Structure 1
Amino acid sequence: MDGQRRLATLYEFVDGRLDLDGRITPHDPVLRESDGRLYPNLPSGLRAAIDDYPLVVLEIEGMPAADLRSALLRLNDGTGLSETGRKLVESGSFGAQVRDLVLNAVDWGLTEERVSFGNVGLAYDDLISRALVAVEEGSVRTAAADSKELADRLQSGHPVSPETLNEVSEALKELLSLPALDLPAVRFVKPTLLSWLLVMIHARRCLGPGSEHHLGHLLEWFEPQRLRLAARLSLDMRPPLRSGMKGLPYEALLARFNESSAVAAHGPDATILRDAILWLFLVATGGAPSRRTEPVPAVMRMFETLTRPDAAALEDEDLDELLWAHGSLGSWGEWR
């Protein structure tokens, strides 16, 4: 609530006219158990904690009205919000869409126990806002943290279309329902979860129903093996590659995915590279019903580039150069 409504809301709550929202993030099991209860019906300990909570009142004089909201956010910020987080809080109807989707996603399994990181600093809100912008714009590049499209959306607060909101919601729900997320070795950070979500959205759009099941099988292999590489362990399982794509340099691609998830991970180049790598594995393991279906032809061009005779001994920088200069990476991720 903003400053003008904060005290009025507290009055309404204590008066028993507002129920408690126990789904608010970051997830708290104590609040979750009291979801939907009115103040008089709360457990005595929680009610006492509310009664004893101190309220600090600051009087600000001589500040233009346009600057007040940002000042209030800075004064009340005890959560360590990033600049992007603050912009999300202030982003009007778009921010409201993001917050509602995050609340729903918590019920679907978007919790630290399931995806391996929490919503500290509005990490979930940031991830979902970037996915919404990418789908609305039809471009993976716009999911980068510093994209102009994202900045414009945060500044204007203009909501995305109902179609975009529904597409992202359905794909996120499907991703969070995959059995692979219950495996101890499947661990995400924000950049990797964003990449899997974007691939889920795009695959559902291009390849149709059933694509999420194959994506789940790929995730079961991919995430544990890339984490083994990150821990300087050798792979203990080969990918289930189709006969015609046995030459895929899968270990080099896993290593590059790891690096792009850690170094400049939120930038456009890293976001595009991770997306392309996941699509390479998706197609190479049989996740595409036809080679003529987009974006499979572009994926096959990347595969042919990576497997040509002079690409036998790939280093990270060689892999990047091949994909950007001779593969399809320069135009990758444009969905329209």
Structure 2
Amino acid sequence: MKVRSTDPDLSTIYNRIKNEQIDLQPDFQRGEVWTSSKKKLLIDTILREWQVPPIHVILNDDDITQEVLDGQQRLCTIRDFMDDKIKINGNLKPYNNDLMEVHGSTFSRLPKKLKLKFERYAIRIFEIYEYEKGEPGELFNRLNQSLTLTGAEKRNAYVGGTRKQIKEFVNQLNDLNVGKEFLGFSDLRMAYHDLFARLGYLLELKDLTANPSDKDLEDLYREDRLFSDEVVTALQNAIYTIATIKDEVSNNSVNVHITKASIFSWLFFISM
């Protein structure tokens, strides 16, 4: 199997779809299942000129038409937007004045400058050719077997001071050799990062009964709202206290059953 790459703009891609040079419904695709909000998020990404994942297509025997191996939802969304079937959501964070001004607009109603920006946006396309039977299907399965990210893993993509603070708490825990053997759970899928993000959030509110959603925590990272010095110091001291308790338990061979919920409560009340 051979692969080559091209970078056509969206105007070219749209015309190929309309001329049936690109087949959006090959047998191995799953159908158009994206929600309206997800489609609008892709359009917003393109209008901000941010990077979009590449498309994988298979070149047919006629050396002209292509079947979409991976990226069907993205191409369907682009086609539908340029067909005026999708309206822009100009209220997505981080706020952008240019996009807020065209909130609710369809493609044909965009200002000329913004319309050209969309049409000229280029997407990397990997074209597969000279392949053996079964190779495209195997590639499709490999491209679509990735794990669903946890909230903590998604938040970790937001580079900033908040992420740095959380990482420092986790590093302190590791430096003091406080881990799965004592806590009862590991940092798999960034579980410790999630623990400290929630702790910091509740300590700022001084309310253990609050129940922040993944969106609340994502906004914390996205807006880079730093924890106060008071909360940071309190959590650092609480981690040292937990490490001391762990050493005492270990040295005296005391059997203590700790859960994620109990360690959360311990850290919270020690920090208060």
TM-score by length of 2: 0.43
Greater percentage in strand: 2
Higher helix share: 1
Which protein has the larger Cα radius of gyration, Structure 1 or Structure 2? Answer: 2
- Normalised TM-score (structure 1): 0.36
Q: Which has the higher contact order (CA 8 A, sep 6+)?
A: 2
